[in-house]
């Protein structure tokens, strides 16, 4: 997990939410818990990591309010705590953490791209465009709507009749370098 440590290098202790989001594994955990609660054991199985590591990352997410306890139940003589992602996007308007979040998303995108289905259709876009402010706002709303629509349709991992889908999206207005020089 050397890459994850490198992503965390530039993040200070000043913002614990950004620090929690800086780890690609925690970002995946949030995505997996979006449609419904999962325990540390379930996350460990899905992510192919140890139960202890899943628990540690889950505690970190809980400590900064990105997940919440959804249910507690008795299982095999012990207590199982299942958490869900707190809905809402702490990512969208975080200009202060944009470079760190971009690096984390790039890391996650790289991992997902390696798992892309050979016969699955997708959309790939990279652009730096000049558009009218009202066109940007309309496009931003449509992109946010598409992301919300996919999140609303999300089901727990491996639900029959579903397919895994990857999406990384970061769209924002740029500073005009000539105006800031």
Q: What is the pLDDT of residue 6?
A: 47
Task: Assess if residue 123 is contained within a domain.
Answer: no
Q: What is the pLDDT of residue 142?
A: 96
Q: What pLDDT, on the 0 to 100 scale, is given for residue 86?
A: 92
Q: Would 78 be classed as within a structural domain? A: yes
Provide the strand spans (E) within the chain: 38-39, 67-75, 78-85
State the CATH number of the domain containing residue 53. 1.10.10.10
Residues making up the chain, counted from first to last: 181
Quick check: is 79 in a domain? yes
- Please report, in tens digits, the pLDDT of each residue of the chain (181 residues total): 444 444 444 545 558 888 888 899 999 999 999 999 999 999 999 999 999 999 999 999 999 999 999 999 988 888 999 999 998 765 666 677 778 888 888 999 999 999 999 999 999 999 999 999 999 999 999 999 999 999 999 999 999 999 999 999 889 999 998 876 6
For residue 107, being part of any structural domain is answered with yes
Residue 134 lies in a domain: yes
Residue 139: domain span: 2-116+128-180
Distant-in-sequence contacts of 1-7, Cβ < 8 A, 24+ apart = 1/25, 3/107, 4/107, 7/100, 7/103, 7/104, 7/107
Number of domains in the chain: 1
* Geometric angle at alpha carbon 124, from 43 and 7, rounded to 5°: 50
Instruction: Give residue 113's pLDDT.
Output: 94
């Amino acid at each position: 997990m050397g890459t994850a440590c490198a992503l965390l290098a530039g993040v200070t202790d000043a913002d614990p939410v950004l620090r929690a989001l800086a780890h690609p594994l925690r970002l995946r955990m949030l995505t997996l818990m979006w449609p419904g609660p999962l325990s540390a054991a379930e996350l460990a199985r899905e992510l192919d990591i140890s139960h202890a590591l899943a628990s540690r990352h889950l505690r970190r997410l809980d400590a900064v309010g990105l997940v919440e306890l959804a249910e507690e139940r008795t299982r095999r003589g012990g207590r199982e705590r299942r958490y869900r992602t707190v809905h809402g996007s702490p990512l969208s308007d975080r200009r202060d953490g944009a470079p760190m979040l971009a690096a984390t998303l790039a890391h996650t995108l790289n991992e997902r791209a390696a798992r892309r289905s050979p016969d699955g259709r997708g959309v790939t876009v990279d652009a730096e465009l000049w558009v009218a402010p009202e066109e940007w706002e309309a496009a931003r709303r449509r992109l946010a709507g598409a992301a919300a629509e996919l999140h609303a349709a999300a089901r727990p991992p491996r639900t029959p009749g579903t397919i895994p889908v990857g999406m990384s999206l970061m769209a924002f207005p740029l500073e005009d370098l000539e105006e800031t020089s």
